[in-house]
Amino acid sequence: MTSSTSPLPFSSPEPVMKPHVVLVSFPAQGHLKPFLSLAKLLHSAGGFRVTLVNTEFNYYRLLSSSPSAAAAVSDPIPDFSFASIPDGLPQAPLDATHIFSLCSSTSRHCPAFFRSFLSTLSPPATCVITDGSMSTTAAVAVEIGIPVWLFYTHSGCGFWSYAHFRELVRRGCSPIKDEASLDKPIEFIAGMDGIRLRDLPTFARATDAADPMLNLMIRRADDAKQGIGLILNTFDELETDVLDAIRSQFGNLYTIGPLSRLTDRLAQNSPVAMIGSSLWDIDNACLSWLDRQEKERVVYVNFGSLAVFSEEKLAELAWGLYGSGYPILWVVRPDMVLGGGTDAAGFAESVKKMEDRTMVVSWCDQEAVLAHPATGVFLTHCGWNSTLESLSEGVPMVCWPFFAEQPTNCRYICQVWGTGLEMQRELKRENVAAMVREAMDGEKGREMRRKALQWKEKVRTAMELGGSSHGNAERLIKDIAKMCSKFGN
């Protein structure tokens, strides 16, 4: 928790029967975190019975790495529970190189397991909120007749891009013909003026019409209309044009982000407020290290839970960071280096040379790091949770997107919201150092910080009573209660 503001007031509905909301998260850190936030919100502010379903491997990872989640299982919280279903995959962490295997396996295996789970659940589910990336489980709820909402954990611009993948193929924009076509403006996506193919989610860059991820994302987008409504972890003021365009096609839209901020506002004595969502062990020593640094002088580096690098590329990045001259706090997962782990010779050597002003940890409490006064710049992959957390704390970004909708988020961060600089495509240490220096102390960096602080204030306003996200969250809670009451009768 990073917020010190007063608890968030909600008017809880009083349905005839207590709704039992089942939430189903895609098995990745970037999905689990907002799903847990939504589960907390529905339990504490809505007064609902809540069950959060993970796939088995992530369920046991969560209990292993998050003592607060394990405690919630061993000493159950009334009306709040965790559950699991198999996903058909080997019991090992997956990175971005395995993303199709993960998506394909959950699509094939999870529906039958989820159907079986629902058939034995007591009390029975009166509502399902499923991940847009697990839309085959939504189909199960629809078939059974349980009211279902779809929650897409990416940005509005990311969701809207995916919604146009079928049209990209129809118009011959995807699969791509050559590298030059990536700079072609895409003029038929309402609310996204000036967008290029290069800015759209990377799966649109397929070179074959039979590309499995391209076709999977088309099917996922088609599934978006099978629920009662769509939930997005964004706020109206951030993506106004895009969200207006989405509403024109999906009328029942609930924009309730940043969700982590809404749950920050829960009463501190709420039994679910402190349950953690991390799938890695958190190293809090970095916060003590930050306490010893000067205000707004630390470069925080984190590329999320899936990105992987060659040893050579990571070492080049390390030398560039070191050459910037600033203190560095760097999150390096154990599985982040292809073929050699973090002990790979070239990377290990570069990090050893940086020890005098570098702190390397395997995972951290990112919201606490971004809220720390010493954090000055965030070098990020532009994952949506990271983007929202950086905006929420007013921290400018250096952007190095990798896959999925991260390039789309990057374009909005840099070109629309004005809070970031995009890393040059060719990774050279001198380029890295120059970008970091500009973001920290350059004229562009000062303007980025000014705009980031403006967005921080807009986030705060959206959370307040009468704010856009507060109002949309309250509307969602009332609509779920109403629909569950009808379903129960």
Catalytically active residues, by annotation = 31, 131
> Which tokens belong to 331?
């999150």
Nearest Cα to 107, choosing from 183, 40, 43, 27? 27
**In whole angstroms, what is the distance from residue 468 CA to residue 266 CA?**
17
Determine how many CB atoms are found less than 10 A away from the CB of residue 108.
12
Please give the order of strands across the beta sheet that includes 253-255: 80-85, 49-55, 20-24, 127-131, 148-152, 230-232, 253-255
Q: What are the backbone dihedrals phi and psi of residue 379, each rounded to the nearest 5 degrees, phi first?
A: -90, 115
CA atoms within 13 A on the CB side of 142: 15
